[in-house]
Structure 1
Amino acid sequence: MGNVFSFQLSCDTIISRCWDCVAGQVIYPCHLEENLAGLNTALDELKERRNDVETEVNIAVQQKLRPLDEVRGWLSRAETMINEVQLLIDGPEEIKNLCLGGCCSKNRKPTFNFSKKVAKRLRDVKDLKGKGDFKVVATEAPAPSVVQRPSDSALGLESMCNKVWSAFEQKHVGIIGLYGVGGVGKTRLLTEINNKIGVLSGGFDVVIWVVVSKAFYIGRLQDDIAKRIGLFNGIWSEKTPDEKAIDISEILREKKFVLLLDDLWERVDLSKVGIPVPNQENGSKLIFTTRSTEVCGQMGAHKKIQVQCLPEEEAWKLFEEHVGKDVFDCHPSIRGLAQEVAKECGGLPLAIITIGRAMACKNTPEEWKDTIEVLKKSANLVFPNMGEEVYPLLKFSYDNLQNDMVRSCLLYCSLFPEDFQIDKEKLIDFWIVEGFLDEHDTISHARNQGHRIIGSLIHACLLEGVYDWSIKMHDVIRDMSLWIACTCEAEKWKFFVQAGYHLTRVPEGGRWKGMRRISLMKNEIKNLTEAPNCPDLQTLFLNDNHQLKVIHSDFFQFMCGLKVLSFRNCHLITKLPVGIAKLVSLEYLDLSFTGIRELPIELKALQKLKCLNLSCMYCHITIPRGLISGFSKLRIFRMIVYSPLDEAVEESNECLLEELQCLNHLNALSLSVTSAFALDRYLNAERLHNYTEDISLEVLKDSMQLNILPLANIKSLHSLAVASCESLEEVKMEWAGEGRMTKAQNRIQTSVIVTQYCFQSLHKVIMINCSKLRNITWLILAPNLRNAFVEDCNKMEEIISEIKLSEVAELVGTLTPFETLKYLTLRKLPELQSIYWNALPISCIKEIHVQNCPKLRRLPLNSNSANGNKISIKGEEKWWKELQWEDESTRNAFLPCFIAI
């Protein structure tokens, strides 16, 4: 029976398999067309899924994430599958051989095999597509074991670096303490070790750098370590210090780490932070820097290494590098004197670097000898036991300034916000009123001294030039200056500076007491209501508080000693309180760029006023009659309007000419002239010509022509604006001589005439909204022009016209325009075709700015203009591409100069 049963089972199996075979021969071909359609659809869906995953991966890579391995593998398999299926669908002839709806075929066996492949691939594609549904495609890339840190030259530290590295490589040394005075190069040395580990030493899982500093607390140290080892996430901040310590410890116990702690001032309890103590067993390392050998002992350092000042030879090399060897070639004795200066630095690297840079522009033996004397007197006070690391060393440059006047001028610059561009002229005005400068008969002479001081401060690297008209203070120099004013010389200066602090209200009154100079510039203060008690206050800067609207009348009640008050650029202020009359000591009042509509008559109480700035008001300002003439000590008056005036205000302001002529001490004047009648009156007021610095000719609505030559008589004129003169068609240069000269007379007289009718002191010209003006050829009479700005002159065709110039040839002689020009701005001049018909030797040019001047196809530049010039050319891309050049080499020479706007 067993045999029969076994035979029966085998027969069933055979029959089943035979049936499967027969059925398969029919089923696969019968469903081929259906499976092919399904395979095409599945393939498209797989491609779509592949594209989506690739997009997510690309986005992740841009975000510095690392794609998961399973995602990379799936994408690779998907790509292979797509290629294979595409070949399967596109290649065979079986589809053509099908008949009877696919159940019969001309060639059954190949059709069966193909049908079977299609069915299998359909299952495979669907299965692979299903596996491509990833919730996450990438994760954060593992941090590099060592982050290379930027480093200055390690000149002079080579032997010390080798010493530390030798200790680092010793297996039994787990903790190394580097100690030494401030400025000796500990941080620079630690940086070198960090970078050397990354290059030379393998086997460490992670190198962690943390700056500890004097303001150390465990939480911040834990956070910095957590960021480096990948623990700093959303819930990290919610954990207690103990929980953080446990998490850090669990990670670092499994790693071989190097921990670099810079600037320790006290012991750090490693267990509370979560740091396993480095030792020979775990192979980890801890290196820290400190100024105290006691801290080395408290930290349990296995090796204490003193970072000492440089030996004489190394110190000299470092000093020589930062002074620059070319200085030593200026005089044969400088090298020997420089070596004495280097010795006075005591081998302290930071002092060597700082003083070396300060001496890089000293070209005479006398300057070096003076430096030696200064260092001999102050070195013992500055270098040992420094309270700060940098400022006392920078203070050398401050102490080395010429005198207290220059030092005062420098500290005053720290009243302005960080990175603030300080207008040179306005700064000098402040210095004059503050009494920093010498007494001078004229403002012009005082300005010359002010500019000389600015130059010396720039030369000493304590100020930075931005443009010809502005400077700024480096952040570190500003901090050093405030440190001096608020710490070293606090009793003398009594500064209170919160400029750019985003304050919405003034500091409470108690903080004003005893202060002499307060700067609250560039904040968001909205009102001045509280009356602070500050009788010693001399200077108050409230500039650039754009939210300031309300000034309470009592605000000035207890400021009887205030000399300088500035509301510049507080444009929401519309009126001054009558309480300002209590500022009986006020000498400087700046209301420029405010919205004040009328000056209160109570201002007549300010009998000591020396400077009043009413320029660029946001609305028309009315000045009571007799107010200006009542300021008997007024020396500087500014009132440039740049906007149309109604007739009442115009009439009021024309009366200013009479009042200004009554001021015996007036020495600097900026004035708007708003009609031909007012211009005639001004030209007849010869007394005012001696100190007019800026004139704005505005809204000359009754004038089609303007003869510019009478203004050449104003020898102190620095800036001239012609604005909103929509009727003005021509600016003439009509020589006042009798009749015409012969050519022979012209040759004799030309030099005299040119000298007489040139604007020798004119540095800046502004032409705005003169819609009928076709050229400004008269600019050739400004041989010292530095800045030209032309905007919104719809019919302007040429800047300098060849035809116009030929008409006044006897007047202009051999003058060449723009020889000293530095900045040229041309904007919204739709008809402008030419600046000048030939290339100009504009050797001083720094910037040409062209915008919305579509017909300007040439610049007055050629290959010679490019020689040695570092020029910026700003304009639209389209305009630049369509510019025509003398030749291809000229175009290529100026190509790097272009800046698209």
Structure 2
Amino acid sequence: MNRLKRKLDILEGKEDDINEELKYAESLSMKRRKKEVESWLRSVGRIKNKVQRTEQEVQERRRKWLPSIQLHRNLDRLMAEAGELHEQGAFPRGLTLEAQESRGVSFPTTKLVGQMFVENMNTILECLRNNSVSVIGIYGMGGVGKTTLLTHINNELVRHGPDSSVSWVTVSQKFSVHKLQVDIANALCFSFSIEDDEKKRAAELSNFLGTRKNLVLILDDVWEDIPINEVGIRVGVNGCKLILTTRYLDVCQKMDCQKQIRVSPLSDKESWELFLEKLGVDMKLTPEIEETAKFLVKECAGLPLGIITMARSMKGAEDMFEWRNALENMKESKLGHDDMEKKVFQVLKYSYDMLKDPIVQQCFLDCSLFPEDFPIEREDLIELFIDERLIDGMKSRQAEFYRGHTILNKLVNACLLENLEIYGIKYVKMHDLVRDMALQITSTSPRFLVEASVDLKEIPDEEEWVEDLVKVSLMDNGISSIPPTVSPRCPSISTLILMSNRLTSIPDCFLWNMTRLSVLNLSYTDIEKLPNSVLDLVNLSALLLKRCENLKYVPSLANLKALRRLDLGYTGITEVPQGLETLDNLRYLNLFATSLLICPGILVNLFRLQHLVLDWNSSTKVKGEELANLRRLETLKAQLYDVNDLNTYVSSLEERELVSYTLQVGFGNNLCWRINNYNRTVALINSDISKITSEKYPLLLPQGIQFLYIESCRLVRSLSEASSLENIANLRSCRIVLCDGIETLLSVSSSCSLPILQSLEELRLQELQDFTGLISEERDVSSLPPTGTFCSLKTIVINGCPSMKNLFTPALLLLFPNLETMRVLLCEGMTEIIAATTHESEEEGSTSGGTAELSLPKLKSLWLSFLPELESFCSSKKTLVADFLQEITIDNCSKLKKFSLLDNEPCHLPSLQKIMVREEWWESLEWEHPNAKNVLQPLCLFQK
């Protein structure tokens, strides 16, 4: 044993020398240890362990005086092995190779399919050539092809990157700094001198990476953000370039990826090409099978993993019935084939499992209640989360929505949902296979019954209504009736969605056994009467009847004490349901019903209301005092009796601020003003507000108002006379229609500069008989309001103001630096748009620094129509420059013979794309600049 230990000491000395030499070589130059050296070091490690165990056995037998022939043989064998290893450790050809000799390992992979994959690959390669990009993140849902894309990048670098090397590390879901350090070191053929100290190991790895020029490190399948400094990954000029793949966008963001690339599913055409490639050239499809196969591929919704797996599972299937069976299984969300279930379902389910938070997981599963390929409005989803108490206990409804959007963002970041925006409204959408995965989960526990938008004519058979069902969605079908004897025994159901069906009635017995029902959605049905059994659902939290236009009457709701949300919007009811005033748990109430009459006092006890919507018709009015008692309101849409009621309610807000509101005083037939993009609106209609200049007769507007609409009112001569408007600073749009009395927006004699005009982005003045101009008594630049008064204005529309002679003067034009759209029409007295003043020479010196130019620096669209007296666009002698003007429309301006804006050097209108005019007017124009007409004529689109 002693002789063996002496041999081992010599061998360990050799090992220490080799490790020191390796460490030195790898730290100074692009060297990597040989494979035979790695193997030798492992063998030395193994023999050291064997010697240690043998020594323990020798000591044990020595104490007991037990001789052993076998032990002697082991000692002889170990001494021989130690001597042999010592001889092998000479390494006459050296310990290392130049690292450039191996740029990495080329992996087998499939052909890239799809234009987007090719574009993504080119983008990544371009980023690798860009010194300013050090960290690249590739994200997308499971099975979408992230690893395949990265494999092509790896192989491209290995085969065609003479100045670079690449190392690949797959990151496990059970990530640890220690394990990742070991994996990266192994991939780089690097050994740590210290085994356990993570900080020192990180320093060693960082120093080593600093010596590896043009190294690309790939981290595949990252599930959470990695603290790269703690690991020792040095990136940048003195380090490596890092590429990572993940299913989570926020992992890319948290790891400071300078380039984030989403890998999206394939198009239908690309999906079919991939399917045929994986099916094999020997597989001949009959026209009938090919048609079914295309539907089958479509069910995979562009997910490469699903398409490849499906193609492999259908290899050799020549029977039409097999193809149709596969299609039916996919349509019914039964993945069916073992390969599909194992490879696709499990891959997608990892993302679900990694959500970890049970509430977020339940919110995700709720998305499967909606039809396949259905854009789900984000706010509708969040309302459902609130109704089901998945979001609860927040201090305000706004806080609940913040939480809801956070949950949806988490699901989008995990690529379990995708964002959509349609006409400015935000939606989310579920990939078909992700939805199939969700339905697979809900086929056991929690148990859902989902047959949404599958063209059902009748409700599912009773055997499908099993006792452990918790949620049922039959939305968007053709169900017109429920048999009078059907009474499912489903005591655990909490959510029942029957919306968007042709249901006219529901038998009482249908709901008898649904004692825990919390959410009942009958919106968009033809239901005429609620079953009496609804009134026994004491756990009901949400009763949704929106757009049930045939519903004329709702019985007493007094028993529904748990009700928190009641939506009767756009129903045919004429009376408020009895017992409504006793539902003191209500948070959400929509009574936007055209024929509904609101009785005073009905809202007094609903002190928990956060969301209240009433109709704006002439009979649906509410008192300011009644609204003032609802201290928790955050969203309000209602018509008040008069300005005094408005003032009463606004006064009650004190420090509170509504999140969203539409407050209307008076009733008018012009409803188009309601179609706007502003969620804080006040409309004053058919009211006398000509006395709002004093504190005795104020007009109080809520803080944060964005849109002010005034119609058919008696107004003050100038808005600047209304002292009550001085504190309104966030107004973005103002529309004044059919009002008498108002002559100007601002009066020079008034010291009020109206802050509301500084934030204003849109101004529309329509049919104002007395209106003469934006500012009264303008003489020169010194009489103008302060700079910045109209600095935010982008759109101005003047329509039907017969007393106006002009819109601007050269000095006034300076107050509109951001004007983009100008429309002037039906102004019978308008003679010029920009009028020269008698003091123009003074203005030139004082405002323009002596230059001979006027400018509309942001103007894009100009529209002049039905201006019978218009003789000049700009009578000033200054040249008007509009560098961003894109389109001009002129119609029925018969006296306009010279158009100075066009009759200039063409360079004054470098962005002009379209001129909409009548041909006879164009031909009658008088031109001073000889080339202007010929240059501009190709842009003309002549009106008939």
Give the shorter-chain TM-score range: 0.3 to 0.5
Bigger helix share: 1
Bigger-Rg structure (1/2): 1
**TM-score, length-scaled by structure 2:** 0.44
**TM-score, length-scaled by structure 1:** 0.46
